């Protein structure tokens, strides 16, 4: 079998497998001895891990979930000659792995931290602008979910503007960024319903007594 074909097959597969590592679940058990899927919102993202097992576990989850998005993109760049298309493919596979991990019955997180890692490597200026937008939204309204949705929605435009001015990104990157943004927004469907109904809790590090959490990456 052609070596190039195997390499191109391996990149999205590696991206998916790296993305599917459930760091939140593992760290929740390591730090708190608890299955985070049975605590709070039941999500394996950093926010629910922090509430279930403490700030240190949440921070480590955030860092590792970000790293598992960045690593496949970095590897694709090394092995595919800096091909933006293959970097985007590897990144999308990592986000899909986090959102739909095979190890957890395809029920994973919402992809925000993993997508951040992807775009930190792919287009760091756009990712920096998205983080600034996230901070502004959360600081003004107090909803982490709304900040995540806003950043995801803005990402296609930010990548277009900051890719390599005055050059636009390849169509594969534009389409892939749009797809990543739509996936993240879709994974926030429950948050959107609560925001519209005025029932979305504002951000707080401590878990609410009613078990409802505002955001789970």
> Tokens 């878990």 identify what position?
207
Degrees, nearest 5: CA angle 119-28-124: 10
CA distance 47 to 57: 10
- pLDDT, residue 202, reads 81
Beta-carbon-side half-sphere exposure of residue 81 (alpha carbons within 13 Å): 3
Q: What is the mean pLDDT of residues 106-121?
A: 95
Q: Hey, is 167 helix, strand or coil?
A: strand
- pLDDT, residue 188, reads 94
Q: Is the peptide bond before 166 cis (omega within 30 degrees of 0)?
A: yes
* DSSP secondary structure letters along 95-136: HHHHHS-GGGTT----SHHHHHHHHHHH-HHHHHHHHHHHHH
| CA 137 and chain centroid, separation | 18
Residue 13's nearest CA partner among 85, 92, 111 is 92
Q: Token pair for residue 158?
A: 């930010």
- pLDDT, residue 216, reads 46
Worst-scoring range by mean pLDDT, 75-79, 131-135, 204-208? 204-208
Q: What is the pTM of this model?
A: 0.89
Using 50, 70 and 90 to split pLDDT, how confident is the model at 166?
A: confident
Using 50, 70 and 90 to split pLDDT, how confident is the model at 76?
A: very high
CA distance 136 to 216: 19
> Tokens 């982490």 identify what position?
144
Q: What is the mean pLDDT of residues 67-80?
A: 95
Query: What percent of the chain is predicted at pLDDT more than 70?
Result: 92
Residue 183's nearest CA partner among 210, 157, 152 is 152
State the average pLDDT for the chain.
Answer: 89
Burial of 198 (0-12, 13-18, 19+ CB in 10 A): exposed
Which helix (H) or strand (E) segment is 207 a member of?
A: none
- pLDDT, residue 1, reads 55
Question: How many other CB atoms are there within 10 angstroms of residue 188's CB atom?
Answer: 22
Question: How many other CB atoms are there within 10 angstroms of residue 167's CB atom?
Answer: 7
Q: What is the mean pLDDT of residues 65-87?
A: 94
Q: What is the mean pLDDT of residues 183-188?
A: 96
């Amino acid at each position: 079998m052609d070596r190039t074909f195997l390499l191109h097959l391996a990149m999205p597969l590696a991206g998916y497998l790296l993305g599917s590592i459930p760091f939140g679940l593992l760290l929740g058990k390591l730090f708190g001895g608890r299955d985070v899927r049975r605590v709070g919102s039941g999500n394996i993202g950093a926010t629910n891990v922090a509430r279930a097992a403490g700030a240190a576990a949440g921070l480590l989850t955030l860092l590792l979930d970000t790293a598992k998005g960045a690593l496949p993109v970095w590897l694709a760049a090394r092995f595919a000659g800096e091909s933006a298309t293959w970097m985007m493919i590897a990144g999308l596979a990592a986000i899909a792995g986090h959102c739909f991990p095979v190890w957890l019955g395809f029920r994973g997180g919402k992809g925000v931290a993993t997508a951040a890692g992807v775009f930190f490597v792919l287009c760091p200026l756009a990712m920096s602008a998205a983080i600034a937008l996230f901070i502004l939204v959360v600081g003004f309204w107090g909803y982490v979910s709304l900040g995540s949705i806003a950043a995801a929605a803005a990402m296609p435009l930010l990548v277009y503007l900051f890719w390599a001015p005055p050059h636009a990104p390849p169509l594969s990157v534009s389409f892939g960024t749009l797809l990543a943004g739509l996936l993240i927004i879709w994974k926030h469907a429950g948050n959107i319903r609560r925001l519209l109904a005025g029932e979305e809790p504002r951000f707080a590090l401590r878990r609410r007594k009613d078990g409802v959490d505002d955001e789970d990456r």
